Amino acid sequence: MDKYFYSIDGIKTIGPVSADELKELYRRSAISDFSLVASEGPANRESYYSWFPMFVLERQSKSRPENAPEASNQLGILARYLQALVAVNSTDPSKFEAARLAFVGTDFFTVKLAASNLPVHYPIQSILSLREWPINVPYAIHRPVDLTLKQGALSKMFLGSNEEKQSELMKAELQTPLAIEIYHNVIYSNGGRGSFGVGLAIPIG
């Protein structure tokens, strides 16, 4: 029987639990459409690599949640994914990174970058496009320490005892249900000759 790990806050993981147990948690609203899920897989220690939203498992759908409201504008689309982990090209115009969509207003929206948890506010007019299809981005998530693995003296000296740790950070990949493309203003100089210009940087692809 397939088993899964899940994360309510996107930081710490719980499990493994069976698919039936996971769906029961969903039915009781203990986890939401945007809670993160990862299959245990054939190799337990590798199962933390690929994470995706719960609604993908519950409805076998890779698009938006079934109960998501219809939208006629950008605000409506953003509102579907409020509090979800999404992809945004915030730091680098050519690369997406994970961020939590924390607020959607009439004039601006706020994301909290997963790498730092710092809030970034953008005017609605800065949006180039909204992609409602799965996009994978780098991610990091805490997994419980495997106490069944023996730890040597040098490892304890430099890394600390596993028995004293509650979790360890692991690099992973996150499938996001929405990608927010924003434009970036770029200021450049002409080889130090006293002139400068302003350009527009946008992602390609």
* Cβ–Cβ under 8 Å, residues 97 and 190: no
The pLDDT score that the predictor gives to residue 106 is: 92
Strands 36-39, 85-88: pairing is unpaired
The pLDDT score that the predictor gives to residue 11 is: 86
pLDDT digit string (tens) for the chain, length 205 residues? 678 989 998 888 888 899 899 999 999 999 999 999 998 765 544 556 789 999 888 766 555 565 555 667 899 999 989 999 999 999 888 899 999 999 999 999 999 999 888 999 999 999 999 999 889 999 988 876 554 445 455 555 445 554 444 567 788 899 999 999 998 766 655 555 554 444 455 454 4
Tokens of 195: 């002139």
Side-chain half-sphere exposure of 130, counting CA atoms within 13 A: 21
Global confidence as pTM:
0.75
Residues 6+ apart with CB under 8 A from 199: 185, 186, 187, 188
Q: Which residues pair with 50 in a beta bridge?
A: 173
Residues 6+ apart with CB under 8 A from 14: 5, 6, 7, 8
The pLDDT score that the predictor gives to residue 93 is: 87
The pLDDT score that the predictor gives to residue 94 is: 87
CB atoms under 10 Å from CB of 25, counted, come to 18
Residues 6+ apart with CB under 8 A from 85: 10, 34, 36, 53, 98, 99, 100, 101, 114, 174, 176
The pLDDT score that the predictor gives to residue 191 is: 57
| Rounded Cα gap, residues 134 and 165, in angstroms | 34
CA-CA-CA-CA torsion sign (25, 55, 97, 187): negative
* Cβ–Cβ under 8 Å, residues 51 and 36: yes
The pLDDT score that the predictor gives to residue 84 is: 94
